[in-house]
Amino acid sequence: MLNKLTIDDISVKGKKVLLRCDFNVPIVDGKITDENRITEELPTIKKLLSDGARLIMCSHLGKPKGYDESLSLKPVAERLSELLSMDIKFISTPDVVNDEVRALAEGLKDGEAMLLENTRFRKEETKCEEAFSEDLAGICDIFVNDAFGTAHRAHCSNVGVAKLKDVSAIGYLMEKEVSFLGNAVEDPVRPFAAILGGSKVSSKISVINNLLDKVDLLVIGGGMAYTFLKSCGVKVGKSLVEDEYLEYAGEMLKKAEEKGVKLLLPVDNLAVKEFDNDAPSRIVDGDLMDDEMAVDIGPKTVALFSEALKNAKTVVWNGPMGVFEKPNFAKGTYEIAKLLSELDATTIIGGGDSASAVNNLGFGDAMTHISTGGGASLEFLEGKELPGIAAVMDK
């Protein structure tokens, strides 16, 4: 499926290997509150170290404008030291790479490791400018990209540095992401179903269009459903609607019909007048009143979606069914997550809010694959080439 060099194809012994990780983890008061992205990276790190690499890891964290101590990767270096039972060397500097860092990299022995400071402390990073790309390329012999979460962006630490190295490869996490998402879309075991939710149609236009050429069933919930329902003449009150996409929604409904794809929309909804977890609510079949907004799918919709999904053999889910952050509006998302956890199928959760929802609701371990990249997995489902993967050498 993916004709890229992997870490199993290259020799790293005695070589300085720059590994682009995705350590963009939530840190509150210096403490990591969810270390999933760190633990997902461990197989690649352990493989490179056991093969004798002199490992230099790098990652971004958050969206700093220049140096910001609260977004330092120091807590990540400390946690990695614990998880790997070894010293992960770390120098905090706004330059990310300076003479002290170069000396540290030069002094690494086989099987030793260091972590660079937050790559976004350098303003060149997100613009993929040469100076920082050259700094990164200058401290390593080989580049390995294992950060799927940023693969849809062309930055210095994934695309810029890859272009400057004679040897580049992908790590195990990137390989796993691309194989699950790629096989699901290009060669799925059928019936193949996609569940799309979340707030906006606009962010998923190309995904809907691309998936309608591939799936047998498309289930639409969450805020984006109300643009579709309004395009069908249903009164949706104050629900989230993108009026400029009403025509597009109509076109997609027509395309589904022409393609013979079953496309399901909510038939009942949980409605409130105030956007508040404790606001009085009611289940509404059909039209909402002008002063109401829908915040979750209703029980009839859960039953309809569940019945349609129960025979699926491959399911891709991106976007919750309602405002799952508020406990009283999370039931629809919970029920769909529970259903998927019990299916005899390949279940792939497309990162972002869907991943948070599935993990927070306790169903994470029951899914076949939870993507570490929200935006990247969406663009992959759109059928786009991701620059962070394209820049790595082909086999």
Query: Within 10 Å of residue 162's Cβ, how many Cβ atoms?
Result: 28
Q: List phi, psi (to 5°) of 270.
A: -85, 120
Question: Rounded distance, CA 356 to CA 338, Å?
Answer: 14
**For residues 194, 41, 132 and 74, what is the CA-based torsion angle, rounded to 10 degrees?**
120
Side chain identity, residue 227: T
Annotated catalytic residues are 37, 200, 352, 375
Full strand arrangement of the beta sheet holding 281-285: 281-285, 268-272, 293-297
Query: Within 10 Å of residue 44's Cβ, how many Cβ atoms?
Result: 24
